[in-house]
Structure 1
């Protein structure tokens, strides 16, 4: 398999290289923390939904009318907030758990030995960013597509262009392997990622709800594509 690696530059505080088995613990840490960072944004999104506001207001008024106690209403609203916070975290935690049981359990087997690849961004001998890619098994007729997965950069190392460099590494790999498109999915919660992809030339191609929970919460998954001009 060709080895695509960005050489370390004197101007850059990081370099990108292909994944090694010794990176596994660090990669899992970056991935897990990156996914869990979306929980507060999901919670805020849920709180701003009209149905959530109506629920909180309706429960408060009902308790006051039935019991005559504002204190009881406040306590109930507090526990409803805790419940919503718990619900906001569950899909992300379940996603992480599923990945750690499947593709992330053996990254070499899942990516490097499956005609894809997995890269890490390293800074000071520490893994600070990750990205993966795999061929799309059933692409549209006449297309050869590579799917990007698991882009994540540790919070302490953002603002250095690492995420953009990781995406460029995937695009370079795809172009070199003769792919016509790079595709990916992200969610409306991941606004930073969405801005990055659109700014790099990706195009929205569709949207869907991954689960019934996401549908109830109004959280869409956005499908994006980067078509190579020569394709």
Structure 2
């Protein structure tokens, strides 16, 4: 395993960071598609519509074509939220990372560098309108290049963010992930994050909504003194 180090984002990292972000987000499409295939409504659609086509037309060929058409529809449906999310982010915070994360008090953006190349990243911003009496930091954009996963880079990035939260006097770190990002969910829970609620991603509307999971890490007074 090649050595790596965590540092703050620099403008020269922008192109590589965007590449990582896009590949990381779009890498969730296959898992989303597989997840959608487990839904009762998907099974009903894939089983019922081709069967109805067969009974009406008496043609197995039409039924098979119908099944493949429905699979294509589900694949496009699985792509939609991730493609839309990427497009939105590329026109907001990811368009000017320094402005959004390094010029705002209480925010930061880190990258992991290995062999002279950026292979991971994570960002943090204070939560707007936190619960009364709490100061919350939001974890965003955690991504590690596929070829460098399993090397502890994601953990190192999250540790850097947690230390930043302690130093800045935050009470909690919060984040949102999706049910298909099982690797990320396991990482967060292993590091002490706990689930506080579930929701639905507004980019995947009913009747095939993709569920989200909201997590929180509580920073104790003892930790703040470290």
TM-score (norm 1): 0.93
Match of residue 62 from structure 2 = 72
1:214–1:220 Cα contact (<8 Å) kept: no
Q: How does 1:97-176 map to 2 (within 5 A)?
A: 97-115=87-105, 116-176=107-167
2:81–2:203 Cα contact (<8 Å) kept: no
Q: Once the two structures are superposed, what CA deviation does each residue of 1:153-179 show, in whole Å capped at 9, x if it has no partner?
A: 000001100000000000000000111
Q: How does 1:6-85 map to 2 (within 5 A)?
A: 13-85=3-75
TM-score (norm 2): 0.95
Separation of aligned partners in 2, 1:177 and 1:124: 31
Structure 1 residue 214: deviation in Å? 4.7
Structure 1 residue 216: deviation in Å? 2.5
Give aligned pairs, total: 221
Structure 1 residue 137: deviation in Å? 1.6
Separation of aligned partners in 2, 1:53 and 1:141: 45
Structure 1 residue 109: deviation in Å? 0.2
Structure 1 residue 217: deviation in Å? 2.3
RMSD after superposition? 1.3
Q: Is there any run of 5+ residues in structure 2 with no aligned partner, and where?
A: none
SS at 1:104's partner residue? helix
SS at 1:114's partner residue? coil
2:201–2:209 Cα contact (<8 Å) kept: no
Match of residue 228 from structure 1 = 219
